[in-house]
Amino acid sequence: MDIVRTAIGLMSGTSMDGIDVALLRTDGRGFIERGPFLGVAYDGGFRERLKRALDLARPLTDRTARPDELREIELELTIRHADAVTAFLDKSGLGRGDIDVLGFHGQTVLHRPDDALTIQIGDGQLLAERSGIPVVYDMRANDMMHGGQGAPLVPAYHAALAGRFQKDGQAVCFVNIGGISNLTYIGADGRIAAFDSGPGNTLIDQWVEMQTGKTYDPGGEIAGRGQVMPDIAARYLGSPFFLGNIRRSLDRGDFKPLADGEASLEDGARTLAHVAAASIVKCASYLPDSPSVYIVCGGGRLNGTIMAEFANMAGKNGSRVMSAEEAGFDGDAMEAEAWAYLAVRSLEGLPLTYPGTTGVNQPVSGGVLAEPAR
């Protein structure tokens, strides 16, 4: 009989806006019982520290290297995650003894799949000591050691959620629009394909922050007042990333931000929202088949301009677009839930990645287990 564990997933994504905390009861296979969710926002000062970490990591070639300042940021990040766990348990009326494992993503500060190099800061052992709960972390490295891109990792969870669509004979594609967007296709026959699909919110967030000091475009309202600038859109969509059918995972810095003065605030945001939607549709052409339905999670689903563009483009190909909530899920919690699910799979030695998701040469497990001192 498969063991059902209670896990908490902790996710800090490329948008660097905070920590998502979600609870899941699962056997790491087909049994999934979703629990509460908590979002813990970063203050502006710490967001700037995380941006600094990206600069500090850029020259690194050793994934374990932590120059002094980067180590300080890693320490602060880990403590914030421990505090987020405490806040989540308090709010949910749970104790540490109720949780079997934490799935800890950390913060990706460098991702160079062509060099088999990925760096996520976050001290798993320290988090285990501070929280008093076992921690599974560093889940990307083993995939890259076996020829994979180290991303995306969420598809294993998406596949577990896709059952009812498969029963209806539908091919479903989960779209996570975070800082970087990624796709997970699950065919009616169970075939899985997954890859990063291009810039999601990152370029928009960078542009809006540069122009206004705000960290994002709430609801896509700024973009909704602008017009698409075809030359700029074509420049992004003409990136070599979109050429050929060899998919690769992306780093936050792979697409350069708009330069100050290239567009008005509104036209820049509108153009980048168009790019976010068009990137998904462009990359979806490499899927095994056209999906019957796209299910959108991540912060980008709240950007009405991106969603309208995406629905219009996908509709021309006969596909329907719905938010995670319309499909019965929680679009804010899904990625953190995935990290809880992956932590349980790691404990069971089950694969986290597959040839069809990361390009790894065989299905592989991964992750490092850190136990608190007894």
Look-up of token digits 């749970």: 94
3-state secondary structure of 38: strand
pLDDT at 247: 73
- Name 182's bridge partners: 176, 196
Distance CA(100)–CA(5), nearest Å, equals 6
Q: Tell me the two tokens of residue 305.
A: 């301009």
Q: Which of 78, 72, 21 is nearest to 337 (CA)?
A: 21
Query: What does each C-alpha distance from 92 to 25, 34, 85, 134, 144 come to in angstroms?
Result: 14, 13, 10, 19, 36
CA distance 85 to 83: 5
- Side-chain-facing half-sphere of 204: CA atoms under 13 Å: 36
* Whole-number Å distance between alpha carbons of 7 and 112: 29
Q: State the pLDDT at residue 188.
A: 86
pLDDT of residue 264: 98
- pLDDT value of residue 1: 66
Do the bridges between strand 135-137 and strand 293-297 make them parallel or antiparallel, or are there none, so unpaired? unpaired
- The pLDDT value recorded for residue 168 is 76
Predicted pLDDT of residue 15:
83
One digit per residue, the tens of pLDDT, for the chain of length 374 reads 689 999 999 999 888 999 999 999 999 999 999 999 999 999 999 999 999 999 999 999 999 999 999 999 999 999 999 999 999 999 999 999 999 999 999 999 999 988 889 999 999 999 999 999 999 999 999 999 999 999 889 999 999 998 777 767 889 999 999 889 999 999 988 889 999 999 999 999 999 999 999 999 999 999 999 999 999 999 999 999 998 777 778 887 889 999 999 999 999 999 999 999 999 999 999 999 999 999 999 899 999 999 999 999 999 999 999 999 999 999 999 999 999 999 999 999 999 999 999 999 999 999 999 999 87
Specify the pTM. Answer: 0.90
The DSSP code for 290 is -
Residues 175 and 371: their CA atoms lie apart, in Å, by 34
Contact 23, 7 (CB under 8 A): yes
Cβ-Cβ contacts under 8 Å for 72 (sequence gap 6 or more): none
Burial 139-149 (b: 16+ CB within 10 A, else e): bbbbbbebebb
- Copy the structure tokens of residue 292: 């019957």
Q: Which of 200, 170, 201 is nearest to 186 (CA)?
A: 170
* Tokens at 19, concatenated: 């920590």
Q: Return left, alpha or beta for 99; rule: phi > 0 is left, psi -120 to 50 is alpha, else beta.
A: beta
From the list 336, 350, 338, the residue with the least C-alpha distance to 3 is: 350
The distance of Cα 27 from the centroid of its chain, to the nearest Å, equals 22
Q: Do residues 85 and 10 lie in contact, with contact meaning Cβ atoms separated by under 8 Å?
A: yes
